[in-house]
Amino acid sequence: MNTSESEFHKNKYIYAPNMIEGPLQEVVHQYALMRARNKDMQDGDSQVAKTPIALGDRLMETLLKYLQPKLEAATPPDLYLF
């Protein structure tokens, strides 16, 4: 197992292809690109420098709420949730 695979397992990450399906994928992708290109996001933080970030983005927060049942079904029940 290479380093990234071992880190992946150590951190309990999962691979969940097609979690966002169909036209919604393209909408979310184009939205994220547009936000980054328009520079209406912060340019990184202490965790990930030079990576566009935005707190409280309504579309992305709505997307997370929409995906919550799928995410809960794909992850072990013992994960820490706020």
Residue 55 main-chain phi, psi, to 5 deg: -95, 140
- Residue for token pair 């936000």: 35
pLDDT at 35 (0 to 100)? 87
pLDDT at 1 (0 to 100)? 52
Give 51's contacts (C-beta < 8 A, 6+ positions apart).
Answer: 43, 44
Q: What residue ranges do the domains of the chain occupy?
A: 20-74
pLDDT at 76 (0 to 100)? 73
pLDDT at 24 (0 to 100)? 95
pLDDT tens per residue across all 82 residues of the chain: 556 778 888 887 878 888 899 999 999 999 988 988 887 777 777 887 887 788 888 999 999 999 999 988 888 776 665 5
- Residue for token pair 């995410």: 71
> In whole angstroms, what is the distance from residue 43 CA to residue 51 CA?
6
Give 10's contacts (C-beta < 8 A, 6+ positions apart).
Answer: none
pLDDT at 67 (0 to 100)? 92
